[in-house]
């Protein structure tokens, strides 16, 4: 009974309006949505296929990075398993969003940098620049990771790398790939900055630094904590970790940056495969002696067991009421709240935002079809937010509905679509405000979705 997540509907709508930028994200996710729908179709499975493949790539790349750090089979297995069973990474791979692809770009950049530090050709900086540039077109937080890697290299004493022309050419490639979106942002008044500022003021739950750190443990599975803590220590204190210390610095800089900028607690998550990879190596080295050799199997079992327990919190596998009973026994979903509206919901926000959309479109369709034919020809559908508008745009064609209007995020740029405003079906968030602009208002129906987020319940 779980349906599309709110943002999935919005990204598919953006895919119908391809551009070099959007109010709240760079252009890549819209292009990927357009590609997925044209190649695989528009079903739930079709839209989520590429995120699932990206999740698999993250698991594989984590093991690959562990091997690059000098890890053997056990190190690679432990690192990959720790990421595979982390509830947050399971969630990233289970629905269509920028977060599904972000760790792939970060990991590829880290792996390329690690190879260069180990002595591979400096020409690999060109590949680094290409990956970083695509990462910037996926999500602007790539800027934070890029800065963290550069600063990490300098703090780790790798100034020699900056004497190579190839690293600067790689930077130019990244800038060239990012430039179209940068120009779009400048021409539209830097809307992404305004979105972030407004989210900090009105949307995100303000949390303390201690709570931010606690969320990292919860999002990655508490039983996996020994792996990534050991990985952080390995970068700074192990002899074999010294060449890769820049990755440890990169993690600390990413974490500190998002804490100082009051970002959501899941923002640093794409950097944790770097710690899981080194954690696998650290535990492999610790368990080489006979006295600790027996630790390998129990540690792997603990990590996997913790992940299995947490799977329902990352992937919506259980029926809703079964999940509610399960989460009452393990109140995991109550530990991490990133948005103010999510504080009052039973389900995790990820799941609550998967309910109500088709019912919403069906209810609006009944109202629309009950209108006289003359009114329907010029009757627009005004939604309060991008999720509601996206639901009309996705489900509406099967109900005979036109595309929705909204002033929210990129829907603002898509305008009134030629409607005069003489007839309007208004629903959803802010509808009580919107109806004050009209002289004749009638309540035609009530949309009820008990499991949805508060703004969409009734």
66-80, 312-326, 433-447 — which one is most confidently predicted on average? Answer: 66-80
Tokens of 283: 């535990």
Average of pLDDT values for 251-263? Answer: 93
Highest mean pLDDT among 9-13, 195-199, 209-213: 9-13
Lowest mean pLDDT among 52-61, 68-77, 306-315: 306-315
Residues 379-423 have pLDDT tens digits of 999 999 999 999 999 999 999 999 999 999 999 999 999 898 889
| pLDDT value at residue 349 | 86
The residue with greater pLDDT, 199 or 304, is 304
Mean pLDDT of 279-301: 81
- The confidence band for 345, taking pLDDT boundaries of 50, 70 and 90, is low
Residue of higher predicted confidence among 335 and 171? 171
Residues 6+ apart with CB under 8 A from 29: 11, 14, 97, 98, 101, 138
Looking at residue 161, what is its pLDDT?
95
Question: What is the structure's pLDDT at 204?
Answer: 73
Among the ranges given (210-219, 237-246, 291-300), the one the predictor scored with the smallest mean pLDDT:
291-300
Between 268 and 306, the more confident residue is: 268
Q: Which of 108-112, 250-254, 434-438 bottoms out in mean pLDDT, i.e. has the lowest?
A: 434-438
pLDDT of residue 342: 53
Residue 142's CB: how many other CB atoms inside 10 A? Answer: 24
- 12-51, pLDDT tens digit by residue? 999 999 999 999 999 999 999 999 999 999 999 999 999 9
Examine the pLDDT at 364 and tell me if it is beyond 70: yes
Q: Tokens 């990133």 label which residue? A: 338
- Summarize pLDDT for 112-148 with one digit per residue, the tens: 999 999 999 999 999 999 999 999 999 999 999 999 9
The pair of structure tokens assigned to 170 is 């790689």
Check: CB of residue 325 under 8 Å from CB of residue 421.
Answer: no
DSSP string, 149-205: HHHHHHHTT-GGGGGSHHHHHHHHHHHHHHHHHHHHHHHTT-HHHHHHHHIIIIIBP
Is the pLDDT at 290 greater than 70? The verdict is no
Q: Indicate whether 336 pLDDT > 70.
A: no
What one-character-per-residue DSSP string does 145-159 give?
HHHHHHHHHHHTT-G
- Confidence (pTM): 0.92
Nearest to 277 by CA among 324, 323, 232: 232
* Confidence grade of residue 199 (pLDDT, cut at 50, 70, 90): confident
User: What is the DSSP secondary-structure string of 78-104?
Assistant: HHHHHHHT-HHHHHHTTS-SHHHHHHH
Please determine, for residue 457, whether its predicted confidence score (pLDDT) is greater than 80. no
Answer whether residue 281 shows pLDDT above 60.
Answer: yes
Report in angstroms the alpha-carbon separations of 395 from 44, 403, 410: 12, 10, 19
Q: Distance (Å, rounded) from C-alpha 211 to C-alpha 207?
A: 6
Q: What is the pLDDT of residue 333?
A: 57
Confidence of residue 334 (pLDDT cuts 50, 70, 90): low
Q: What was the pLDDT predicted at 339?
A: 61
Mean pLDDT of 299-321: 90
User: Which pLDDT value is given to residue 181?
Assistant: 97
pLDDT in tens, 168-185: 999 999 999 999 999 999
Between residues 137 and 452, the one the model is more confident about: 137
């Amino acid at each position: 009974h779980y349906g599309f997540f709110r943002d999935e509907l919005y990204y598919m709508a953006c895919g119908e309006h391809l551009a070099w930028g959007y109010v709240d994200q760079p252009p890549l996710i819209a292009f990927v949505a357009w590609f997925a729908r044209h190649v695989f179709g528009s079903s739930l499975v079709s839209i989520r296929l590429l995120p699932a493949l990206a999740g698999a790539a993250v698991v594989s790349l984590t093991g690959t990075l562990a091997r690059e750090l000098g890890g053997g089979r056990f190190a690679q297995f432990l690192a990959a398993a720790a990421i595979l069973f982390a509830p947050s990474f399971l969630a990233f791979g289970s629905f269509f969003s920028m977060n599904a692809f972000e760790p792939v770009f970060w990991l590829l950049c880290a792996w390329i940098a690690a190879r260069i530090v180990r002595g591979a050709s400096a020409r690999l900086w060109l590949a680094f620049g290409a990956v970083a540039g695509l990462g910037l077109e996926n999500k602007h937080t790539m800027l934070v990771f890029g800065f963290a890697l550069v600063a990490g290299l300098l703090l780790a004493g790798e100034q020699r790398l900056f004497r190579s022309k190839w690293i600067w050419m790689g930077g130019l490639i990244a800038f060239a790939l990012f430039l179209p979106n940068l120009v779009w942002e400048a021409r539209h008044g830097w809307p992404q900055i305004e979105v972030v500022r407004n989210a900090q003021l009105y949307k995100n739950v303000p949390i303390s630094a201690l709570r931010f750190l606690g969320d990292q443990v919860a999002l990655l599975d508490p039983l996996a904590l020994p792996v990534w803590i050991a990985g952080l220590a390995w970068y700074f204190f192990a002899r074999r970790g010294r060449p890769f210390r820049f990755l440890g610095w990169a993690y600390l800089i990413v974490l500190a940056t998002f804490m100082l900028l009051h970002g959501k607690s899941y923002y640093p998550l794409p950097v944790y495969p770097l710690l899981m990879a080194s954690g696998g190596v650290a535990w492999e080295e610790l368990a080489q002696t006979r006295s600790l050799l027996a630790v390998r199997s129990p540690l792997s079992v603990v990590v996997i067991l913790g992940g299995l327990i947490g799977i329902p919190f990352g992937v919506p596998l259980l029926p809703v009421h079964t999940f509610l009973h399960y989460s009452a026994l393990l109140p995991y979903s109550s530990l991490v709240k990133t948005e103010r509206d999510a504080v009052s919901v039973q389900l995790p926000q990820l799941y609550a935002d998967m309910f109500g959309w088709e019912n919403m479109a069906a209810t609006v369709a009944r109202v629309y079809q009950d209108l006289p034919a003359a009114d329907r020809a010029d009757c627009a559908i005004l939604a309060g937010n991008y999720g509601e508008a996206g639901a009309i745009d996705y489900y509406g064609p099967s109900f005979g509905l036109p595309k929705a209007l909204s002033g929210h995020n990129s829907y603002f740029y898509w305008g009134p679509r030629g409607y005069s405003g003489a007839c309007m079906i208004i629903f959803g968030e802010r509808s009580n405000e919107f109806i004050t602009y009209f002289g004749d208002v009638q309540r035609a129906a009530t949309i009820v979705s008990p499991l949805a987020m508060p703004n969409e319940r009734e």
